[in-house]
Structure 1
Amino acid sequence: MNNKNQDVSARNSKMGLRKLLAKAFLPPPTQGRGGNQFPEAVVTSHNGKTYRFYSDLIRDKVVVVHFMTLDSQQHFPSLAHLSQLAQQFWDELGEKVNLYSITTDPVRDTSERLAAYAEVHGIPAGWHLIRPSENDVKTISSRFARHLPQHQPKEGFDLRMVHCGNAKTGIWSAFAADAESGKSAMRVSGLYGGSRPNGELRRAGPVLLSEQHRDKTSNRDV
């Protein structure tokens, strides 16, 4: 009886995981879902300029978005990981690719503090450290796919996952912030234009793993 219950529990866990992963890799409810639903929240960059989140930063662009706090960098250095990705697109940042690191702690991460971090660490043009209001950061984050609970260490904000997408075509994907930068760069560059020269739709989503290399207990490579 115990073995039977364990089998049922295992099947339910797998089904639950599949549903979570399927939800995670659906595009945010934007152009691909019948119209823009990203907020027009006014946000501030570390460069001191203000932007409308959707119209100025997202619309018709290939973007890489993740959520972070400066204080969390000592525990999980997501900005250091993202800097490796930024180096892959150094000459294309702000042109083909736009990188946005959005603080989920706008009270502590003031514009001055973000600017100081950017100066010390040499954040290049095309990479913005974004500060929304406390209310707007919740609204903005809710437009992006949610992932497994262990990837949400700070009040439900997804600090260990990176979202990327082509807002013009509605193709979106995600990967772990500490994934190998070369593989992450391939995923982002695959969003250019949304299709290959022969018209075949580019695939967005997790890298397909062979059965022998797939870890059935983890979504670490997602």
Structure 2
Amino acid sequence: MNERRKFLAGLSLAGLLPVANAAQAMTSGQEHTHTHGGVQLYGRSQLPESTVTTHDGRTVQLYGDLIRNKVVIINFMSIANEESFPITASLAEVAKLLGDRLEEEVRIISITGDPANDTTERLAAFAEKFGAPKGWVFVRASSEGNAAYASRLYKHGRDTSRPASVDIVHYGNDAVGLWAAFPALIAPEDAASRIKSVMNGKPVTGDFAQAGPRRLDENGPSFHNRAI
């Protein structure tokens, strides 16, 4: 059992398992910092910090300003790769399904893996082309910043400026250190459902509803599913 726990603990952001015990994280008000390989990592998600420029011209901290204590979707992309690998077009469909929850409850962060060519002006035009709503930000980091995030998210060295036949999108709730990932080109409905599953819960109001087949002595739908 101890060996299994060690194995599961090693599956950080690259896997589909939480990187921290959510219940324990929610009861702890402490902010954690770690150092790994000479890189300072922050928060319950243990992510690096990097100064980035957004597509709307702001200079911000990637972790401290855009990720910390928020529900976020993070992907790598580049303008040059979009035609052959339409990850941004796919996320645009997810953004539509999230609707008003985007910005209010969740943020999309698209990190260009080609900052030398994807200038702020080009990213702004790119965001406008796909109708990126508020809550979706395209950012440029330094090569070092890109490498630190690629290493942390993917757990191996990777040239994020090169085209890929398959990629993954990470999503998580930094406040509790809960993360998962999905293939970039899965059905938008599936992606939106997964993202909603890590959003912060809301207080329950009204009468309780029991999931499953309707009781025989009650009126209503024949079957009730819990809705996210």
TM-score, structure 2 as length reference: 0.67
More helix by share: 1
Q: Deviations over 1:110-166 (max 9, x none)?
A: 11110111123221110001111112111122221448x9x9885598972100000
Matches within 5 A, 1:39-58: 39-58=48-67
Cα distance in 2 for partners of 1:137, 1:101 equals: 12
Conserved 8 A contact 1:45-1:129: yes
Matches within 5 A, 1:83-122: 83-122=92-131
What is the Cα deviation at residue 80 of structure 1?
A: 0.3
Residue 78 of structure 2 is aligned with which of 69, 77, 81? 69
Which residue in the other structure is 1:79 paired with? 88
Residue 186 of structure 2 is aligned with which of 179, 189, 206? 179
What letter matches 2:66 in structure 1?
A: L
Conserved 8 A contact 2:12-2:18: no
Query: Alignment identity in percent?
Result: 37
Cα distance in 2 for partners of 1:21, 1:43 equals: 24
2:28 is equivalent to residue 24 of structure 1: no
Conserved 8 A contact 1:28-1:145: no
2:121 is equivalent to residue 130 of structure 1: no
Cα distance in 2 for partners of 1:83, 1:23 equals: 23
Unaligned runs of 5+ in 2: 1-9, 26-30, 34-41, 205-228
Conserved 8 A contact 1:62-1:167: yes
From the superposition, tell whether residues 61 and 112 of structure 1 become closer, same or farther in structure 2 (CA, over 3 Å): same
Larger radius of gyration: 2
Unaligned runs of 5+ in 1: 1-18, 198-222
Q: Deviations over 1:79-122 (max 9, x none)?
A: 00000000011212111010011101100111111011112322
Cα distance in 1 for partners of 2:183, 2:195 equals: 13
Conserved 8 A contact 2:92-2:131: no
Cα distance in 2 for partners of 1:79, 1:90 equals: 16
From the superposition, tell whether residues 180 and 56 of structure 1 become closer, same or farther in structure 2 (CA, over 3 Å): same
The SS at the match of 1:56 is: helix
Conserved 8 A contact 1:171-1:194: no
Q: How many residues align?
A: 176
The SS at the match of 1:191 is: coil
What letter matches 1:135 in structure 2?
A: E
Conserved 8 A contact 1:104-1:157: no
Cα distance in 2 for partners of 1:45, 1:91 equals: 21
What is the Cα deviation at residue 24 of structure 1?
A: 2.4
What is the Cα deviation at residue 71 of structure 1?
A: 0.3
Which residue in the other structure is 2:169 paired with? 162
More strand by share: 2
What letter matches 2:196 in structure 1?
A: S
Cα distance in 1 for partners of 2:49, 2:176 equals: 19
What is the Cα deviation at residue 76 of structure 1?
A: 0.6
TM-score, structure 1 as length reference: 0.69
